[in-house]
Amino acid sequence: MSARIALVTGASKGVGRGIAYGLAEAGWDLAINFHSDAAGAEETKRVIEAKGRRCRAIPGDVGKKSDVEEMIAAVVAEFGGLDCLVNNAGRQTWSSLLELSEEDWDKTIRTNLKGGFLCTQAAARLMKDQGRGGSIINIGSGANKQPFLNLVDYCASKGGLDQLTRVSACELGRYGIRVNCVAPGAIEIERTREESPDYAGTWSPLTPIGRIGSPEDIARMVVHLADDAADFITGQTIYVDGGLWTQTHWPY
């Protein structure tokens, strides 16, 4: 292979799309996963190719083992191997604990946590066999440690992802595979704009650095963790949040 290869799940929009763009700008070729938004994935692919990098859009449900196995096989067929996995695909349900349905709980855990496990396992097996190490980066949240009311399924899944990161790093380090988590703060994307009509106005005053974040902020950290310059960093959760989750008395 003449270029490093990264797979980003849930890359049809939002933070996943921003991460894919950042990796492409840093010289990576991309496989981008999507579940239902084929048009969004094609737009991501078009922009990546316009940056001069190779890209393949691969459909699949990260919570389904057969889909994940097919996705990894497609990456190998297209690019010959894999150097970095970014577990970004996710979902959430706005509901109180008492009202949350079992179906929504299962969907969120299946995508956010089981999906992270299945993709990590499949990618790590490939990276181990390749014998050249690799980087796995999970996209977490302030919900890794901060309880959010009416997001019980999301908080549980992201807390689990935090521990998946730690255990995976300890088990995979012997193969030269590093596993870290990037936990964004208040990031303005399509979904968060729908949640709050004045997202920046709401979250900027709560963030010590005085502004909200963008997908580019997250992408820069992912690019660093994917690179050999970070080859002694593993098992860490890094909060890219402008100090938001550092506050001990969070005014939410």
Separation of alpha carbons 151 and 154, rounded Å: 5
Q: What is the mean pLDDT of residues 219-244?
A: 96
Q: What is the mean pLDDT of residues 57-80?
A: 98
By annotation, the residues acting in catalysis are 154
Predicted local confidence at residue 203, as pLDDT: 77
With cut-offs at 50, 70 and 90, classify the pLDDT of residue 91.
very high
With cut-offs at 50, 70 and 90, classify the pLDDT of residue 144.
confident
Q: What is the mean pLDDT of residues 209-223?
A: 93
Q: What is the mean pLDDT of residues 46-71?
A: 98
Residue 192 has pLDDT above 80, yes or no: no
Half-sphere exposure of 203 (CA within 13 A, CB side): 22
Least confident range from 134-138, 145-149, 151-155, 194-198: namely 194-198
Helices 65-79 and 115-130 pack at an angle, to 10 degrees, of 40
Predicted local confidence at residue 67, as pLDDT: 98
- Please answer whether residues 99 and 21 qualify as being in contact, where contact means their C-beta atoms are separated by less than 8 angstroms: no
Domains of the chain: 5-243 (3.40.50.720)
Residue 190 has pLDDT above 90, yes or no: no
- Please answer whether residues 218 and 18 qualify as being in contact, where contact means their C-beta atoms are separated by less than 8 angstroms: yes
Q: What is the mean pLDDT of residues 4-32?
A: 97
Most confident of 57-71, 184-198, 201-215, 233-247: 57-71
With cut-offs at 50, 70 and 90, classify the pLDDT of residue 77.
very high
CA 141-144-146 angle, to 5 degrees, is: 95
- Please answer whether residues 87 and 138 qualify as being in contact, where contact means their C-beta atoms are separated by less than 8 angstroms: yes
SS3 call for 103: helix
Chain Cα centroid distance, residue 80: 22
Q: What is the mean pLDDT of residues 160-187?
A: 96
